[in-house]
Amino acid sequence: MTTTTTPKIKSPVSGPGLPRLLQMLMGILLMVCTSVPGATSAPDPKISNVKALDRLHAVLFTSYDNDVQPRFQGAPTNVSLGMVVTYIDIDELNGKLTTHCWLNLRWRDEERVWQPSEYDNITEITLRSSEVWTPQITLFNGDEGGLMADTQVTLSHDGHFRRMPPALYTAYCELNMLNWPHDKQSCKLKVGSWGLKVVLPENGTAVGQSLDHDDLVQSPEWEIVDSQAQFVSQDYYGYMEYTLTAQRRSSMYTAVIYTPASCIVILALSAFWLPPHMGGEKIMINGLLIIVIAAFLMYFAQLLPVLSNNTPLVVIFYSTSLLYLSVSTIVEVLVLYLATAKHKRRLPEALRKLLHGNLGTWLLLSHFSTTGESQAEKNKEMDEHLYEDADEQDASSPLGINPAEVPGAKANQFDWALLATAVDRICFLAFSLAFFILAIRCSV
Domain, as residue range, for 190 = 71-249
The whole-number pLDDT of residue 341 equals: 78
CATH code (residue 123)? 2.70.170.10
Q: Could you tell me if residue 58 is inside a domain?
A: no
Q: Could you tell me if residue 313 is inside a domain?
A: yes
What proportion of the chain, given as a percentage, has pLDDT over 70?
A: 70
The whole-number pLDDT of residue 382 equals: 40
Query: Cis link prior to 403 (omega < 30° from 0)?
Result: no
- Domain match, 157 and 265 both: no
| Encoded amino acid at 202, one letter | E
The whole-number pLDDT of residue 32 equals: 53
Please identify, among 249, 283, 301, the residue that sits at the C-terminal boundary of a domain: 249
The whole-number pLDDT of residue 25 equals: 65
Asked if residue 396 has pLDDT above 70, the reply is no
The whole-number pLDDT of residue 391 equals: 42
Q: Could you tell me if residue 36 is inside a domain?
A: no
Please identify, among 203, 221, 249, the residue that sits at the C-terminal boundary of a domain: 249
Residues 296 and 321: their CA atoms lie apart, in Å, by: 12
For the segment 7-46, what is each residue's pLDDT rounded down to a tens digit?
444 444 445 555 666 666 666 665 655 554 444 444 445 4
Please identify, among 195, 229, 249, the residue that sits at the C-terminal boundary of a domain: 249
| Encoded amino acid at 78, one letter | N
What's the maximum distance between 2 C-alpha atoms anywhere in the chain? 216
Q: Could you tell me if residue 47 is inside a domain?
A: no
For the segment 280-289, what is each residue's pLDDT rounded down to a tens digit?
899 999 999 9
Asked if residue 400 has pLDDT above 50, the reply is no
- Domain match, 233 and 333 both: no
Q: Could you tell me if residue 300 is inside a domain?
A: yes
The whole-number pLDDT of residue 137 equals: 87
Q: Is the pTM of this model over 0.75?
A: no
- Domain match, 213 and 348 both: no
Q: How many domains does the chain have?
A: 2
| DSSP assignment of 210-250 | PPB-TTPPPPSSEEEEEEEEEEEE-SS-EEEEEEEEEEE--
